[in-house]
């Protein structure tokens, strides 16, 4: 909607800088952050949903979030709203037709068509509303809480998944006292991993606050990775489970038996069947030696259940 000038020059950064300086000296100014998008919106080239999609596209960290943002920037969401508006106007016109001639015996509007139209509108609005949960997970990353007792290997697993030393790893119990979060892309899907304070019975005030935050993060997570140290006695695991299991009722839980490299097969099999009341997939891993972490990633993708997003699918973010 505005005049533009394109300047072609060779790739020298110095020459580019001199050209910019010469233009500024003659009254040209640098664009402010987001100014081109704002002007496109002001000139009617974008609607608000498309303008917001530009920011989502820039911030996209996975194939899924990139595709959702692209669909919205191309007008997918705006187009769907326009379709709904047309159907609502059609509904209103049919109702007004009936109201204009209330005393006539003739049925001007097809009642069955009215019912079908309202049901269709309701279905489409409901579909858009329900897509927000999926869109939010795609945009911000699927929240995954890593929980368990102290020294179970939670921080080691987080560092392994992120491929960096994000969390402090120590043999000292209660090292992690606060929540550590970061996002990683696995096969085109973003996961927001949350390393939580180890759960145990303690009188330490600061550690207790960290454990309370752990339970809060369980409530906010879509997936919970419960790490169990295989060297821990079964009685202690079951005692700890009394405070954890009730909080996992509506969660997708993966039970990770860590330090599998330290136990013989017979002992591992014996512990695999603990906590029978918990509906969870079970996996033996060694975070330190990176055993079965590839299988864990596949289980995470399965638990995420992100559908294949088509070119014309509209997801609300």
What pLDDT shows up at residue 313? 76
Q: Are residues 155 and 292 in the same domain?
A: yes
Strand 189-195 relative to strand 252-258, pairing: unpaired
Q: Which two tokens stand for residue 274?
A: 């603990």
Give a yes or no: residue 16 inside a domain: no
Q: What is the pLDDT of residues 120-155, one digit of tens each?
A: 999 999 988 888 888 888 888 899 999 888 888 888
Task: Give the domain-ending residue among 114, 140, 166.
Answer: 140
As for how many domains the chain has, the answer is 2
Q: Which residue has the tokens 């800088």?
A: 17
Across 13-17, 103-107, 175-179, 313-317, which has the greatest mean pLDDT? 13-17
Q: Are residues 136 and 147 in the same domain?
A: no
Task: Give the domain-ending residue among 105, 140, 175.
Answer: 140
Q: Rounded to whole angstroms, how far apart are CA atoms 302 and 222?
A: 13
Task: Give the domain-ending residue among 112, 140, 168.
Answer: 140
Flag whether pLDDT at 168 surpasses 70: no
Closest CA to 262 of 295, 297, 234, 291: 291
- Cβ contact 56:317 at 8 Å: yes
Q: Are residues 104 and 163 in the same domain?
A: no
Q: Which two tokens stand for residue 293?
A: 């972490």
Q: Which two tokens stand for residue 12?
A: 């020298």
Q: Are residues 100 and 149 in the same domain?
A: no
What pLDDT shows up at residue 190? 87
Give a yes or no: residue 314 inside a domain: no
Give a yes or no: residue 34 inside a domain: no
Closest CA to 144 of 200, 198, 196, 210: 196
- Cβ contact 223:178 at 8 Å: no
Average pLDDT, the chain: 83
**CA angle, 284 then 286 then 288, to 5°:** 170
Q: Are residues 216 and 229 in the same domain?
A: yes
Q: Are residues 149 and 127 in the same domain?
A: no
Q: Are residues 132 and 209 in the same domain?
A: no
Give a yes or no: residue 92 inside a domain: yes
Give a yes or no: residue 119 inside a domain: yes
Q: Are residues 293 and 158 in the same domain?
A: yes
Percentage of residues in the chain with pLDDT exceeding 70? 90
Q: Are residues 222 and 240 in the same domain?
A: yes
Q: Are residues 50 and 86 in the same domain?
A: yes
CATH number of the domain encompassing residue 128? 1.20.120.430
Give a yes or no: residue 86 inside a domain: yes
CATH number of the domain encompassing residue 225? 3.40.50.300
Q: What is the pLDDT of residues 57-96, one digit of tens each?
A: 888 888 888 888 888 888 888 888 899 999 999 888 888 8
Q: Are residues 269 and 209 in the same domain?
A: yes
DSSP string, the chain: ----------S-HHHHHHHHHHHHHTT--PPPTTHHHHHHHHTTSS-HHHHHHHHHHHH--SHHHHHHHHHHHTTHHHHHHHHHHHHHHHHHHHHHHHHHSTT-SS--S-HHHHHHHHHHHHHHHHHHHHHHHHHHHHHH-EEEEEEESTTSSHHHHHHHHHTS--S---SSTT---S-EEEEEEETTEEEEEEE-PPP-----HHHHHHHHHHHHHHHH-SEEEEEEETTS-HHHHHHHHHHHGGGGTTSEEEEEEE-GGGS-HHHHHHHHT--TTS--EEEE-BTTTTBTHHHHHHHHHHHH-PPPPPTT-----
* 205 vs 311, more confident: 205
Q: Are residues 243 and 206 in the same domain?
A: yes
Residue 53's domain comprises 40-140
Give a yes or no: residue 107 inside a domain: yes
Give a yes or no: residue 56 inside a domain: yes
């Amino acid at each position: 909607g505005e005049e533009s000038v394109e300047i072609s020059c060779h790739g020298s950064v110095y020459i580019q800088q001199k050209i910019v300086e010469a233009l500024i000296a003659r009254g040209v100014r640098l664009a402010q952050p987001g100014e081109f998008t704002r002007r496109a919106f002001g000139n009617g080239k974008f609607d608000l949903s498309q303008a917001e999609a530009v920011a989502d596209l820039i911030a996209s960290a996975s194939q899924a979030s990139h595709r959702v943002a692209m669909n919205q920037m191309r007008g997918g969401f705006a187009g769907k709203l326009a379709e709904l508006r047309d159907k609502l106007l059609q509904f209103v016109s049919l109702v007004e037709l009936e109201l204009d001639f209330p005393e006539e015996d003739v049925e001007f509007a097809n009642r069955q068509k009215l019912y079908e139209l309202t049901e269709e509108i309701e279905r489409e609005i409901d579909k858009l509303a329900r897509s927000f949960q999926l869109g939010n997970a795609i945009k911000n990353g699927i929240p995954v809480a890593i929980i368990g007792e102290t020294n179970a290997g939670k921080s080691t697993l987080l560092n392994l998944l992120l491929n960096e030393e994000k969390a402090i790893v120590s043999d000292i119990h209660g090292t992690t006292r606060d929540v550590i979060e970061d996002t990683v892309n696995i096969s085109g899907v973003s996961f927001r991993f949350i390393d939580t304070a180890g759960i145990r019975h303690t009188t330490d005030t600061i550690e207790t606050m960290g454990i309370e935050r752990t339970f809060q993060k369980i409530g906010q997570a879509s997936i919970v990775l419960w790490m169990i140290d295989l060297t821990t006695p079964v009685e202690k695991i079951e005692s700890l489970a009394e405070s954890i299991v009730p909080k996992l009722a509506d969660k997708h839980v993966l039970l990770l038996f860590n330090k599998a490299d330290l136990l013989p097969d017979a002992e591992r099999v014996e512990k695999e069947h603990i906590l029978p009341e918990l509906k969870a997939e079970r996996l033996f891993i060694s975070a330190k030696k990176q055993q079965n972490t590839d299988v864990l990633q596949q289980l995470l993708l399965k638990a995420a259940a992100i559908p294949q997003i088509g070119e014309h699918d509209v997801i609300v973010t």
